[in-house]
Structure 1
Amino acid sequence: MTTPATPVTPVYPAKPRPGDKVAILSPSFAGPAVFPLPFELGLRRLREEFGLLPVEYPTTRKLGASARERAADINAAFADPEIRAVIASIGGEDQITVLPHLDRELIRANPKPFFGYSDNTNLLLLLRNLGIVSYHGACVMVQLGRGGAVHPATADSLRAALLGSGEYELRPGAEFRDVEQDWAEPGALAQEPAMRPAEGWTWHRADRVVEGLGWGGNLEILSWMLMADREIRPVEEYAGQVLYLETSEEMPGSDEVYRILRNMGERGLLRQFPALLMARAKSWSFSQPLEPAAGAEYRAAQREAVLRALAEYAPDTLAVFDVDFGHTDPHLVLPCGGRIRVDGPARRITVQY
């Protein structure tokens, strides 16, 4: 185990102000080296729409950078007093190999807001265990590099989390998208992507109010962290907290989703959380381009798999499905280690940035 010996209640690090420098890192996949167009677009929007000065590090665009090299960039970004926040370029699949090379005491002594999701679940949970609130959401290439413009709901949530503080209410969107744009095609990024009507959130056992610290991330990445026993605290320390989960563009089947949750249940972890936020499942990718009807079936099957696991291991848990914080568009920001309030009777979700 590499986590601290005692539980830590995370605190919110100071936020950047317009004109401040922010580190742009690739802790996992050096996506900017392969797809520079959405990356450059995201950097420009950070400068022009958020007023921040992005600073790239040596491995941000370096394909094949070692885990030790990427960790050195993370350490350097947290150590630099001029850097006021850290934002991931994109996710990936091997960030778990970076964790052993991080200087935890250096990071703990220099807390900064970190933004990322998907494979960045690794770093989010490491920061949480070090006592630093971090932010599940908003990578440079995906949300900031979106074709046409940053989705208004994404932009509003990101601005509140990145530049502001205080209470923020998440709201169900009227539209959504999970069909990907072609990042290699310049014309695609100049166009606003096609959106589809959203059906709103689905509430389960919404007869109570739950408020607690947020914990979770990408379900597949969490399963790997559980297997490797990385950044996972004793299960009792999660009692009363709010679990949030999302699935990736690899589109795990409903059986796999159920089995991961079943194993979390067998570990005694699932029942610790009186509330679960489940993101709208991504149901389209270039390798699995499902038609809308098939996509709806995929999302429904995933919801049923989650409900089955809850019925068996956490029957009293309040759950909200199709919340916009995963691999779909728009994308709302959740505080990892920050407070989340799930008000079932009022059908409201409020977070503390």
Structure 2
Amino acid sequence: MTVIDYPPKPSPGDRIAVISPSTALPGVLPLPYELGLRRLRTDFGLEPVEYPATRKMGSTPQERAGDIHAAFADPEIKAIMASIGGEDQLTVLPLLDRELIRANPKPFFGMSDNTNLLAFLYNTGIVGFHGAGVMAELGRPGAMHPQTEESLRAALFTPGEFELRPAERWRDVSRDWADPATFDAEPETRPGTGWDWVNPDRAVEGRGWGGCLEIVAWMLAADREVSHDLSVYEGGVLLLETSEELPSGTEVFRTLRNMGERGLLQKFPALLMGRPKTWSFERPHTPEEAARYAAEQREAVVRAMRAYAPDTMIVFDVDFGHTDPQLVLPYGGTIRVDGPARRITVTY
């Protein structure tokens, strides 16, 4: 079994690599990206360092793998953050030098398509951090969501435990990043709804694994970075969330069913299910349509878990996915889910 260690943390004044392992959206949508870079400097005291493919739309998998290697190998770089996600990081994984990365462990922050790299780090023995990319979270109009900022600051700089809290206010409706007016004010948010617990009869403490459900499905299909030795997941906390592509309840159920048939679901005594994004530019749901979509997803999750892992404790609507705020979770690190106390504590 691979032993997974926390990499050393940066300090204010250190250099942080900013890379685009998936899509180089900074090259076409610079406004949230430049805002995110400014906040890294002014709010977090870190000096961002860009790489050749960070703003290069259409970069090859080889170019992106080269940036990843350079960022990990450079002793002056103390942490690494993705600009944003995408949809083809799967093609980068076979090009990565596992020994180089293992010899130079650093905190990596990303989510969505960066589930690929997080799973790679898990299998390499390095704790990664699910959440907080440059464009969507640091580049949020008006100001970072205070719960995102608090979580990211703790994950970046402070070893030890951090207790997650349900979102006080949240949103999943986006605005046009190409329009400068988008950045004149903070986005509208809605009151928080709290977490919803299923089987909260015990406390579970284990290593986090999972990520964006659609990307996990792709990794399973391509046989990439999902271990055939399922014992490496035994007793862990499964982290799943869905993207702005808004997969149907049927698709969510089928993906979970495939995971159950493989024996994966049964290894995790706890599941944190991210609050689903229910709105996109392609599908601008009304509030009623959004509520129906969220309910259908929940029903799909419950149905699959009842079939394959009926005793698993589930917490719905945890804010770590494609919605705002975005709490940072240690991927491969320790997560404690305390059902009777209704508390979630992570170790950064």
Question: Could you say which residue in structure 2 is the equivalent of 1:170?
Answer: 164
Question: Could you say which residue in structure 1 is the equivalent of 2:347?
Answer: 352
Q: Deviations over 1:258-314 (max 9, x none)?
A: 000001000111111000000000000000000111111111110110000000000
Query: Which structure 1 residue ranges, 5 or more long, are not aligned?
Result: 1-6
Q: Deviations over 1:134-168 (max 9, x none)?
A: 00000000000000100000000000001111000
* Pair 1:307 & 2:291 matched: no
Question: Could you say which residue in structure 2 is the equivalent of 1:228?
Answer: 222
Q: Distance in 2 between matches of 1:335 and 1:113?
A: 10
Q: Distance in 2 between matches of 1:53 and 1:223?
A: 35
Q: Distance in 2 between matches of 1:21 and 1:13?
A: 15
Moved over 3 A (4+): none
Q: Distance in 2 between matches of 1:181 and 1:115?
A: 24
Q: Deviations over 1:233-268 (max 9, x none)?
A: 122321111001000000000000000000100011
Identify which of 212, 234, 237 aligns with 1:242: 237
Question: Could you say which residue in structure 2 is the equivalent of 1:340?
Answer: 335
Q: Distance in 2 between matches of 1:174 and 1:294?
A: 23
Q: Distance in 2 between matches of 1:254 and 1:235?
A: 26
Question: Could you say which residue in structure 2 is the equivalent of 1:258?
Answer: 253
Identify which of 304, 323, 327 aligns with 1:328: 323
Question: Could you say which residue in structure 2 is the equivalent of 1:69?
Answer: 63
Q: Distance in 2 between matches of 1:113 and 1:272?
A: 26
Q: Write the letter of the residue equivalent to 1:272.
A: K
- In 2, are the aligned partners of 1:121 and 1:218 still within 8 Å (CA)? yes
Q: Distance in 2 between matches of 1:341 and 1:303?
A: 22
Q: Deviations over 1:314-349 (max 9, x none)?
A: 000000000000000000000000000000000000
Secondary structure in 2 matching 1:69: helix
Question: Could you say which residue in structure 2 is the equivalent of 1:268?
Answer: 263
Q: Deviations over 1:150-199 (max 9, x none)?
A: 00000000000011110000000121100012100111112110001221
- In 2, are the aligned partners of 1:181 and 1:189 still within 8 Å (CA)? no
TM-score (norm 1): 0.98
* Pair 1:129 & 2:123 matched: yes
Question: Could you say which residue in structure 1 is the equivalent of 2:108?
Answer: 114
Identify which of 98, 107, 124 aligns with 1:104: 98
Q: Write the letter of the residue equivalent to 1:262.
A: R
Question: Could you say which residue in structure 1 is the equivalent of 2:3?
Answer: 9
Q: Deviations over 1:22-67 (max 9, x none)?
A: 0000000001011000000000000000000000000000011100
Identify which of 32, 42, 58 aligns with 1:48: 42
Q: Distance in 1 between matches of 2:137 and 2:269?
A: 30
Q: Aligned residue pairs: how many?
A: 347
Identify which of 276, 283, 288 aligns with 1:288: 283
Identify which of 27, 31, 46 aligns with 1:33: 27
Q: Deviations over 1:192-232 (max 9, x none)?
A: 10001221100000000000000010000000000111011
Q: Write the letter of the residue equivalent to 1:293.
A: E
User: Matches of residues 201-220 of structure 1 in structure 2 within 5 Å?
Assistant: 201-220=195-214
Q: Distance in 1 between matches of 2:251 and 2:9?
A: 38
Q: Write the letter of the residue equivalent to 2:182.
A: A
Q: Write the letter of the residue equivalent to 1:269.
A: L
Secondary structure in 1 matching 2:31: helix
Question: Could you say which residue in structure 2 is the equivalent of 1:94?
Answer: 88
Q: Distance in 2 between matches of 1:56 and 1:187?
A: 26
Secondary structure in 2 matching 1:256: helix
Q: Distance in 1 between matches of 2:284 and 2:192?
A: 19
Q: Write the letter of the residue equivalent to 2:58.
A: G
TM-score (norm 2): 0.99
Q: Distance in 2 between matches of 1:235 and 1:259?
A: 20
Q: Distance in 2 between matches of 1:30 and 1:190?
A: 24
Q: Distance in 2 between matches of 1:9 and 1:299?
A: 37
Q: Distance in 2 between matches of 1:313 and 1:236?
A: 17
Q: Distance in 2 between matches of 1:298 and 1:176?
A: 17
Question: Which 10-residue stretch deviates more, 86-95 or 227-236?
Answer: 227-236
Query: Which structure 2 residue ranges, 5 or more long, are not aligned?
Result: none
Question: Which 10-residue stretch deviates more, 186-195 or 112-121?
Answer: 186-195
